[in-house]
Amino acid sequence: MSEDQPSAGLDPLSRYQVLLRVSRAIAHHRSIAELLHTISGQA
């Protein structure tokens, strides 16, 4: 996918908000196992 194509129909603000949410989730985990467990629960 190139930079000038929309990403899954999300506008830049929505993508930024998702990134912030994911970043906070990643920051609270001490192991890859904890992170994967949380990510699988959010899907």
pLDDT in tens, 1-43: 445 555 567 788 988 888 888 887 777 778 888 878 877 876 5
Residue 10's DSSP bridge partners are 7
Global confidence as pTM:
0.43
pLDDT for residue 8: 60
Q: Which two tokens stand for residue 33?
A: 């196992």
pLDDT for residue 1: 47
